[in-house]
Amino acid sequence: MRPLSRVLLAAACAAAFTLALPAAASAQGRYRVQDLGSLGGSVSAGVGINNFGLVTGSSYLSGDQRTHATAWLLGSTFDLGTLGGDNSAVVFPVKNDYGLIAGVAETAQLDPNGESWSCSAFFPNTTHHTCLGVVWEWGHKRALPTLGGNNGFAAGINDRAQVAGWAETARRDPTCSPQSDQVLQFLPVVWGPARDQVRALPLVEGDSSGAAVALNNHGQVVGISGDCDQAVGRFTARHAVMWDHGRLIRLGDIGGQAWNTPVAINQHGDVVGFANVPGGATPGSFHAHAFLWTRAGGMRDLGTLPGDTGSQALGINERGQVVGVSYGGTAGSRAFLWENGTMVDLNRWAPGYSGHLVAANDIDDAGRITGQAVDGTAKVAFVAVPVGW
């Protein structure tokens, strides 16, 4: 594999061409799909794509017992490594166009409280090692500080080198679910732009824990506020919120009382994610639909593909094109593209691809999409490029 810094430089030289793609490319309704490969295992996924075509995500290693954060660019695959533990991953879309990547990585240290922490939901095995937010800078990595606790989680990163995420404090939170092993409070944070700079964000009054998941270049941050619960969604996501230059804005809901989760925000301040709709077997059960929130229209339920019961919106670009996953029907999970009020199964627009596109995780301003597909027996990262590109 070529050094990542050299390939990033080559991509930067091609930036003018990349950003000059025709605005009508995706409107032709056809995509060319390319499998991106893995680090030797049978599972990989693209999670973010920036305007230079840098795809970030994760890949299982040979044996499928470990996963590492991964970058794909110009035909090369890069293992971003860990902080000494077994696993790492890029979990949320990375929109930085200057080669910075944010994610999570395990350390070699066991958690003193026996917590599995939020990272475990994205790794093949629970190791009970501490996990920290990490930034990869042109081939080098650095851990991000916590708020006095043992664990952190880095999600989105913008062009100003600010990182959104959440970090533990040293305080024990009594609202942590007794069915989970989470013990400590965690708060939404923004790291940077200075190295080791960390700032906690306020919660909705009465809430005890929360997380920031994405931010744009204008200082708008989105995330969740609620109970400690299980440290992964559910009642931690009682409230979907935006922090806008010190002001806390509640984004509302679409009828449910849990899992109200923003995932991505564009430079216009438009937010996508997923939220529970009314119903469900229990108050905390997961029965979500994709949503789009705008300042003018509030939170809008985007629905599902025909025959499905659930969906999640996972990425949005500057044109307002939204991508995600729809599921719950006989067709299984399907990647979707939503634009101009219509949700389309992305598989219909990629007739030349032999695999099945199960999730679209991000879309760049040229309309290129990354996500996960099933191809044979493997789950593979893909990039879908508009025909005419």
**For the chain, what are the domain ranges?**
41-306
Q: Is the pLDDT of residue 215 over 90?
A: yes
CA pair distance 65, 123, nearest whole angstrom: 9
Strands 100-110 and 84-89: antiparallel
CA pair distance 150, 131, nearest whole angstrom: 8
Report the pLDDT value the prediction gives residue 138, as an integer from 0 to 100: 83
Tokens representing 19 are 């950003």
Query: How many CA atoms lie less than 13 Å away from 253 in the CB half-sphere?
Result: 18
2 pLDDT band (50/70/90 cuts)? low
Q: Are 31 and 386 in contact (CB under 8 A)?
A: yes
> What's the whole-number average pLDDT of the chain?
92
pLDDT (mean) for 300-305 = 98
CA pair distance 259, 75, nearest whole angstrom: 37
pLDDT tens column, 60-108: 999 999 999 999 998 999 999 999 999 999 999 989 999 999 999 999 9
19 pLDDT band (50/70/90 cuts)? very low
Report the pLDDT value the prediction gives residue 22, as an integer from 0 to 100: 34
**What is the signed CA dihedral for 359, 363, 367, 369, rounded to 10 degrees?**
-40
User: Percentage of the chain surpassing pLDDT 90?
Assistant: 88
Tokens representing 262 are 């923003």
Q: Is the pLDDT of residue 246 over 90?
A: no
Classified by CATH at the fold level, domain 41-306 comes out as Neuraminidase (2.120.10)
Report the pLDDT value the prediction gives residue 3, as an integer from 0 to 100: 59
| Threshold 0.85, pTM exceeds | yes
CA pair distance 74, 3, nearest whole angstrom: 12
CA pair distance 41, 43, nearest whole angstrom: 6
Q: Are 372 and 339 in contact (CB under 8 A)?
A: no
Q: Are 66 and 129 in contact (CB under 8 A)?
A: no
**Strand ranges across the sheet with 239-244:** 209-215, 220-226, 239-244, 247-252
24 pLDDT band (50/70/90 cuts)? very low
Report the pLDDT value the prediction gives residue 20, as an integer from 0 to 100: 36
pLDDT tens column, 379-388: 999 999 999 7
pLDDT tens column, 331-377: 999 999 999 999 999 999 999 999 999 999 999 999 999 999 999 99
Report the pLDDT value the prediction gives residue 15, as an integer from 0 to 100: 41
The SS3 call for residue 2 is coil
